[in-house]
Amino acid sequence: MKMEIESSILPDNSALKECWNGGKRTSQLNIGMEATELLLNLLKEKWSLLIEDRTNKKQIWNDIATGLSKQGFLVRGEDKGATCRTKWENLRKYYRTYVSKFNQNTDIIEAIGVKTKCTNKKSITFTSVYIPKAYCEVEEIESLISEPNAYVTGGDFNGHHSMWETNTRENKAGRSIHEAPLNTHSACRLPNNTRGHGTRVVPATGRETILDLTITSPRIANSSTIALGLHLGSDNLLIITTINAAPNRETGQKWEEWNGNIDASLKNKNLKQIMDPEQAMEIFSEILEGTNEKNFKKSGTHKPIYTEPDRPWWDENCQILVELARKAFNTWKKALLSMEIRDAWKKVKAKKKKGIITAKKEAWMAFITVGPRDQPKMWSFVKCMLEKGCNLSPDSTEIRISEKLTDDPREKAELFLEIFRKIHTTGR
C-alpha cells in the first residue's frame, strides 16, 4: 500500500530556540548541548545514506536541519544544512585534537623524590611533582600518595578545582587530584591558607591562579601549615610549608661542620628578618660561598666559557634597547601584580624588537650594496646573520625584485647569482 507523507508545518522562528550562536550563558550553553545531541542522533539515523557515494549529501544535511527545526531549534544561516555540516566537521576536528593531544603524552607526570630521617628516627619522603599537560588519571596521583611511611608531596600540578580555587573551570588534573586522596584514605591536602590569593600570576593578563598544592600523610598534616612567600622573580610564587618534623642529618664529619657553619652564619646575619628578596639572596649567596671555601677544597679544573660570536647587525642602539628591556623586566618581577609596570615592560620589549629588526635590515642592505670582495668574508657574514634557528630554505621569505614581491626559489637564485657576479668577477 502506498503511503503518503504529509508535510508538517514548521514552527514560527520566534518560537524556536536559537542554537550554536556563541552565547556563553548557562541557558544558551544548555540549548547548544541539547541541539548537538539531537544533531548526533539525526546523523546516526542518516549515516548509512551519508557514507554512500551516489546519495545527495546536500539534501541529507537539509533533512537534518529540518529535523532540528521540528524539535524547536533555530539553526543560523541561510543554508541551514551547510551550518549543520560545519558543526559536525568542527566536532570531528575537536575530537581528533583531543585524542591526539593525550596520545602523545609520554611524560604525563614528572616527579623526583628524596627520603630523609628525622630526629625521631622515622623516615619522611619528600616528592616534587610537575604535571606539564594538566592531564593525569586518578590512579597516577594515587601512586604518588600511597607511601606507607610519612610523606610530603607538592609541586605545580596545573590542576583547577573549585575546592581550592573560586571562579574556575575544573580540568582533568584538578578532578584527579581532588578524587585521589578520597580513595586512598591516607592522604590529606594541606588547607590552603592562601585562598583568595593565587600561587601563580599569569604574565600576559595579571590573573592569579592556584596551581601549587601540597599533599601529606595524615600524621604530618595535623600541625602543618602552608603560606605564600615573597616574589623572587618567577611567575610561580614562593610557597612556605611548615611540617611537624625535623630532619636528622646523618652525614660525615665534613658535612656536619658545613651544616654547623651555615646555621651559625644564618643566625648571625638574622636572615629571617630580611624582607628584601634581593638583599636576602645576596647575603645567602655570600654565606654559602664563604662556607664552601672554608670546608671544601676547590677543584682546579675550569671549563672554557662559551662566548657567542659577534653579530654583524649588533650596534650601540641594540645594546641600549636590550638593557632597557632587561631593566624594565626586572622592575616588573619585583611587582608582579602591577598592571601598569607590566604594560611599561611590554612597550619597551616591543621597541627593542623593532630596533633589532631595523638593525638587521640595515645590515643586509649594506651587505647587498657594497659587499665583501672575498668569498670567506661573504659566507661568514651570511652565517652570522642567519644562525640561531633561522629558516635557510630558499622559499622561506619574500624578497623584492623590481618593485615586485616574490618567493619563487628560482628567481631568488638568479638574483643572488647576478649580484654575486657583479661583486666577484672572474677576470675572463
Amino acid making up residue 365: M
Domain limits, the chain? 13-103, 110-248, 250-296, 316-423
For 206-219, how does the pLDDT look when each residue is reduced to its tens digit (9 = 90+)?
Answer: 777 777 888 888 77
CATH of domain 110-248: 3.60.10.10
Q: At what angle do helices 26-50 and 80-103 cross, to 10 degrees?
A: 100
* pLDDT at residue 91 tops 80: yes
Determine what percent of the chain is predicted with pLDDT higher than 70. Answer: 71
* Mean pLDDT across 287-302: 76
163 grid coordinates: 575546592
> What is the secondary structure of 137-185 as a DSSP string?
-HHHHHHHS--SSEEEEEEE-----TTT-SS----HHHHHHHHHHHHHS
- pLDDT-based confidence at residue 159 (cuts at 50, 70, 90): confident
According to the model, what pLDDT value does residue 262 have? 83
Average pLDDT over residues 175-190: 82
Q: Which of 156 and 196 is assigned the larger pLDDT?
A: 156
Residues 190 and 209: their CA atoms lie apart, in Å, by: 17
For 401, the grid coordinates are 625584485
Mean pLDDT along residues 313-332: 86
Q: If we measure between CA atoms, which residue out of 204, 233, 236 comes closest to residue 330?
A: 233
pLDDT of residue 368: 65
Instruction: Report the range out of 73-77, 223-227, 271-275, 327-331 with the highest average pLDDT.
Output: 327-331
* Mean pLDDT score, 83-106: 76
Confidence of residue 16 (pLDDT cuts 50, 70, 90): confident
pLDDT digits (tens, 9 = 90+) for 394-418: 445 666 666 677 767 677 677 777 7
For the cut 60, the answer to whether the pLDDT of residue 9 exceeds it is no
Per-residue confidence (pLDDT) for residue 225, from 0 to 100: 77
pLDDT in tens, 31-45: 888 888 888 888 888
Supply the pLDDT for residue 8: 46
pLDDT of 240:
79
- For residue 416, what pLDDT is reported? 72
Res 162: pLDDT: 83
pLDDT for position 392: 42
d(CA 83, CA 37): 15
Among residues 161, 145, 159, 156, the alpha carbon closest in space to that of 215 is found at: 145
Mean pLDDT of 257-283: 83
Least confident of 48-52, 123-127, 256-260, 415-419: 415-419
Band (pLDDT 50/70/90 cuts) for residue 2 is very low
Average pLDDT over residues 178-182: 85
Name, in order, each residue with C-beta under 8 angstroms of 20's C-beta and a sequence gap of 6 or more: 32, 35, 36, 75, 76, 83, 87
pLDDT for 302 equals 59
Mean pLDDT of 390-394: 45
Q: How far is CA 181 from CA 113, 215, 219, 384, 407, in A?
A: 19, 8, 14, 55, 58
Residue 231, pLDDT above cutoff 70: no
In this model, does residue 427 exceed pLDDT 60?
Answer: no
